[in-house]
Structure 1
Amino acid sequence: MKRILFLLAIVLFGISATGQRIGVKAGVSFSNANFEIMDLNLSPEGRTGIHFGFTGEFPLTGTLFLNPGVLFSQKGYKYRFDDEFGLGSFSGKDNMNYLEIPVNLMFKADLKGPKLLLQAGPVFGVGLNGKSFFNGDQEDIEFGGDDDQLDRMDFSLSIGGGLEYGHLQLTVNNAFGLSDITHSNDVHIKHKVFAMSLAYLFGE
């Protein structure tokens, strides 16, 4: 994790040193998950969280930019199972915190006022910690390689867009999980997140 932060810091400082833009970013996230758990009829619900951190951009062409960043991001989901055979029901939720590194390609179009932004790219996530709640009981989420642990690494694809007014960027993004965060043959979970963000970029 320290190596990832160090490399990203080099990228962002390099952007700043060459006269490009670096800034801060924050917003609200609505996360959920795609579940595949044997033949159970689960009804997942979402979690509302926050994200914040740093963002940068530098031009590749006149309208195309590389847009990396590093963000603290809250993810999670709720679930409920109602047994059709009368054996009972259960409910729970998992709340997780991630360090995320989005690496977007961003297209800008001048609308003679604000600029239209279109962006897409991979998001690399590293699980930091989390809490699991099951039928009223609470325990810490463990990351590792065992069946009862979650994979620390997460990988998703994000697409979105927004508007830019001078130093401000208002964007919305959908991130679709591509990696299964479980190690079980019976349970498969992939994150999905809708996020609204406001960024302030320093520089011209």
Structure 2
Amino acid sequence: MKKILFLFLCTVFLSPQIYAQVSIGVRGGFNLSAMKFETASGQKSGGIGSGNQLKNLQADLLLNIPLQGGLYLQPAFRYITKGTFFEPGTSHSDGEAGNRIKVRYIEMPVNLVYKFPFPGFKLCVGAGPYVAYGLDGTYRTDLISNGKVVSHSSRSLAFGEEDNVVSPGMYLNRWDAGLNTMLGVELNSMVMIGANYSYGMVDLDNSAAYKVKNSSLGISIGILLNREDY
């Protein structure tokens, strides 16, 4: 998937006719993220809507490339934090239990977007793949005594085998990839308002203990400069 994205973007950016019409946008917002877990026996838990979501920030630098009519290509460079809460520590026996995990990514979604014109704005609907590279992360644990959380501790994740233990036998993969969808509006004032959902398709657990995948739902606002229709 990474090679396909690279070759496609090279083809786009090496075309001077397309490059002359490219506009640039910036946007920022919030996202809810949660990891989806599946055990070896097929039992699933987590994901958006499970109550284990983390609230985080995201920021985009995007390119708006007109293709044909209302069809556009929108690759973006996104800084985003994803992760999940685990089940409350009080449900575990005394000792140390996982509380939450956060991973900071540089993510590149490449959406094919169609813009429907309306008076004063355009309705934008799009979808496409994304690939993400994990920069770093943190893992927080609770210390439980007599069924109550008495203290917290946090450690860094560096994606090396020794620095990367989330739970016994579980090691995080630095790379993530999946599908991304978006829905938004572009106002004639150049303001963009939108929502996006990403569905991870890469197993983030390098061991065989679980299948772990990212999911994220975000909202954002920004501006699109030098639009080709202005």
Q: TM-score range by the shorter chain?
A: 0.7 to 0.9
Q: Which runs of 4+ in 1 moved over 3 A?
A: 14-17, 37-44, 81-84, 86-91, 144-148
Partner of 1:185: 208
Runs of 5+ consecutive residues of structure 1 not aligned to the other structure = none
Partner of 2:217: 194
Aligned ranges 1:103-142 → 2 under 5 Å: 103-135=110-142, 136-142=152-158
Partner of 2:69: 62
Q: Deviations over 1:12-36 (max 9, x none)?
A: 9x79951321121211111111112
Aligned-pair CA distance for 1:94: 0.3
Partner of 1:33: 35
Contact 1:41 1:82 in 2 (8 A): no
Is residue 185 of structure 2 the alignment partner of residue 163 of structure 1?
yes
Q: How many residues align?
A: 197
Q: Which of these two proteins has the greater Rg computed from alpha carbons? A: 2
What is the rounded CA distance, in whole Å, between the counterparts of 2:104 and 2:154 in structure 1?
16
Q: Deviations over 1:22-74 (max 9, x none)?
A: 12121111111111245688666111011113111111111100000101101
Aligned-pair CA distance for 1:148: 4.1
Cα-Cα RMSD: 3.0
The percentage of counterpart residues that share the same residue type is 24
What is the rounded CA distance, in whole Å, between the counterparts of 2:215 and 2:44 in structure 1?
19
What is the rounded CA distance, in whole Å, between the counterparts of 1:91 and 1:41 in structure 2?
18
Contact 2:103 2:135 in 1 (8 A): yes
What is the rounded CA distance, in whole Å, between the counterparts of 2:76 and 2:226 in structure 1?
16
CA pair 74-144 structure 1, distance change in 2 beyond 3 A: same
For 2:115, the aligned partner's letter is: K
Aligned-pair CA distance for 1:114: 1.3
CA pair 159-68 structure 1, distance change in 2 beyond 3 A: same
TM-score, structure 2 normalization: 0.75
Partner of 1:149: 171
Is residue 80 of structure 2 the alignment partner of residue 73 of structure 1?
yes
For 2:68, the aligned partner's letter is: T
Contact 1:101 1:125 in 2 (8 A): yes
What is the rounded CA distance, in whole Å, between the counterparts of 2:29 and 2:18 in structure 1?
23
Runs of 5+ consecutive residues of structure 2 not aligned to the other structure = 1-5, 143-151, 163-168
TM-score, structure 1 normalization: 0.84
Aligned-pair CA distance for 1:113: 2.1
What is the rounded CA distance, in whole Å, between the counterparts of 2:134 and 2:38 in structure 1?
21
Aligned-pair CA distance for 1:199: 2.4
Aligned-pair CA distance for 1:11: 4.2
For 1:129, the aligned partner's letter is: D
CA pair 41-59 structure 1, distance change in 2 beyond 3 A: closer
CA pair 149-91 structure 1, distance change in 2 beyond 3 A: closer
